[in-house]
Amino acid sequence: MKINPEIFKAYDIRGTYPDQVNAEIFYAIGRSLVMQTGAKKVVIGHDMRTSSGELETTLVDGLIDQGAEVIRIGLVSTPMLYYAAWKLESDAAAIITASHNPAEYNGLKMCWKGTQPIGEGSGMEEIKKLVLGENFEEVENKGVVKEFDIKEDYFNHVLKFVEKTGSKKKVVFDFGNGMGIAEKPIFEKIKELGLIDPIYLYDNYDGSFPHHEANPLKTDTLKDLQEKVLSENADLGVAFDGDADRVGFVDELGQVVPMDYPIAFLAEETLKENPGGLVLVDLRSSNAVSEYIQSLGGKTHNCRVGHSLIKKQMREEGAIFAGELSGHYFFEENQKAEMASLAVVKILNLLNQTGKSFSQLTAVLRKYFHSGEINSEVKDKQAVFDQLKKKYADGKLNELDGVRIDFEDWWFNVRASNTEPKIRLNLEARTKDIMKEKVAEVLAIIRG
């Protein structure tokens, strides 16, 4: 069997179908997952991509041939998979999905017991070795397959966080033809409570993503949502990514809300139940986010990029909430896993509590000037890091993830991408002029 080792990524398995990921490879992954984790019970779900059904079938075959009991939960979002893994007390879980990637891709996200992701440094290398070696242990007794519908229990879990008072909000949801559609019954129930008047965009499953890539981190994918918010005089716009573990927002003025801003407000909601708690903030986020959380009595630590790394740090440091610039929001009340719909519910709660519009709410954070993420292809990443440390030796150095250096009026972070052959620059300053000047200065070093 020919296998491209590049399909084993830092956080998941991913490649084009059927040349890089296919039924034969997923069978081998199923057997390897059981051998690596020792799992007796494994929960399996899948997304709406056309190849997902076939890949699920052979993945399950591999799991049961290695002796595991498999609980199939069907067509689900990634947060539903995490919730099922928690509630059904499985030893491992996996979902066939390529998230926001284009139609020709598919992949697999896996986790240990307790929703801790299987990734680089937490089992992925071992699974890769087993798959490439195709050296599987034979077992006497095959496993069995059961089916379980987790959806109703999941919906009720999210809905228990809804505060049932406040004025009705008009909300536009852009599901981008992806797995956010599976979350729709939550918002229909909130509608029945008289709390929202929902408008839905692209709410039919289509793995070809005919309208736009389901990736709210890319602002050009939010144009339809922005236009609909304005034309409908809506209070809020919500965009899910392909597997619905990330979410982005548009305010009532049609402005894209920077994806680090919700970290501040979701932390605010969580701190009400956990005063003085620790919040992990993506080190690329605006300083305004940590300052806001600290002003509420919360503690903040920076965290690295990557959901598996963040969940691990949450467990190690006892954090009550964490947020990543890509729109992953991690909740203590959800076993430290992402739950995009819970993020939406908590933002709606906050809008009702404060009586403010979303643009008024976020105004307190719009105090610095951020470059956004700027990508560069370089041959020698370490040489770039060394040059930056030498050039800016008088700043405060942080090497948690790449190189972050802070000065009184500005800071920057340069880190290697875990998914592409690039390095990424994020820079923030107190004035627009300083931001532009320093971006040009740092890029000159990066790009030589």
Domain that includes residue 269, residue range: 261-363
Structural domains counted in the chain = 4
Tokens of 340: 């995009």
Kindly state whether residues 114 and 86 are assigned to the same domain: yes
Amino acid found at 417: S
Residue 175 lies in a domain: yes
- Read off the tokens for 60: 């399950």
- Final residue of a domain: which of 363, 379, 403? 363
Q: Is 163 among the domain residues?
A: no
Average pLDDT rounded to a whole number, residues 421-432: 96
Query: What's the chain's length in residues?
Result: 448
Is 99 one of the annotated active-site residues of the chain?
yes
29 lies in the same domain as 145: yes
Query: ω before 210 within 30° of 0 (cis)?
Result: no
425 domain residue, yes or no: yes
pLDDT of 57 over the 80 cut: yes
Q: Which two tokens stand for residue 134?
A: 């195709």
| Count of CB atoms situated within 10 Å of the CB of 120 | 17
Contact 442, 412 (CB under 8 A): yes
Is residue 226 situated within a structural domain? yes
- Region of 91 (left: φ > 0; alpha: ψ -120 to 50; beta: rest) is alpha
* Mean pLDDT estimate for the chain: 97
CATH number of the domain encompassing residue 441: 3.30.310.50
Look at residue 324 and give its three-state secondary structure.
coil
Q: Which residues contact residue 386 at a Cβ distance below 8 angstroms, ignoring those fewer than 6 apart?
A: none
Are residues 137 and 265 both part of a single domain? no
Q: Is residue 159 part of a domain?
A: no
In angstroms, rounded to a whole number, what is the distance separating the alpha carbons of residues 311 and 290?
19
* Mean pLDDT of the 82-108 span: 97
Residue 242 sits in the same domain as residue 276: no
Question: What's the average model confidence in pLDDT over 387-395?
Answer: 98
Identified catalytic residue from 32, 99, 285, 326: 99
Q: Which one of 363, 384, 402 terminates a domain?
A: 363
Co-location of 354 and 225 in the same domain: no
Closest by CA position to 29, among listed 55, 52, 49, 9: 55
Whether the per-residue pLDDT at 135 is higher than 90: the answer is: no
Residue 230's pLDDT band (cuts 50, 70, 90): very high
State the maximum Cα–Cα separation within the chain, in Å, rounded to a whole number. Answer: 69
Considering the domain architecture, whether residues 95 and 211 belong to the same structural domain is answered as no
**Region 339-349: what's the mean pLDDT?**
98
pLDDT for position 198: 99
| H helix or E strand, kind and range, residue 14 | strand 13-16
Q: Looking at the structure, tell me whether residues 82 and 52 fall in a common domain.
A: yes
Which residues are registered as beta bridge partners of 196?
169
Q: What pLDDT shows up at residue 418?
A: 73
Q: Provide the pLDDT for residue 231.
A: 99
- Torsion region of 324: left, alpha or beta (phi above 0 gives left; psi -120 to 50 gives alpha): beta
CA angle centred on 103, ends 98 and 105, rounded to 5°: 45
Q: Specify whether 347 is located in the same domain as 223.
A: no
Domain boundary among 94, 125, 151: 151
Does a structural domain hold residue 244? yes
Distance (Å, whole) CA 317 – CA 298: 14
Q: Measured between alpha carbons, how far is residue 373 from residues 150, 211, 285, 354, 428 in Å? A: 37, 24, 11, 31, 11
> Could you tell me if 91 and 212 lie in one domain?
no
Give me the mean pLDDT over the 72-80 stretch: 99
pLDDT of residue 137: 93
Res 187: pLDDT: 99
- Residue 160 domain flag: no
220: domain CATH number is 3.40.120.10
Count CA atoms within 13 Å of residue 176 on its CB side: 32
pLDDT given for residue 421 in this prediction: 76
275 & 146 share domain: no
| Helix or strand (DSSP H, E) at 132 | helix 124-133
Identify the pLDDT of residue 318: 97
Q: How far apart (Å, rounded) are the C-alpha atoms in residues 232 and 375?
A: 35
Tokens of 138: 């034979």
Both 56 and 194 in a single domain?
no
Is the residue at 190 inside a domain? yes
Token pair in block for residue 284: 């690329």
- Do 109 and 222 sit in the same domain of this protein? no
pLDDT confidence bin for 243, thresholds 50/70/90: very high
**What pTM was computed for the model?**
0.96
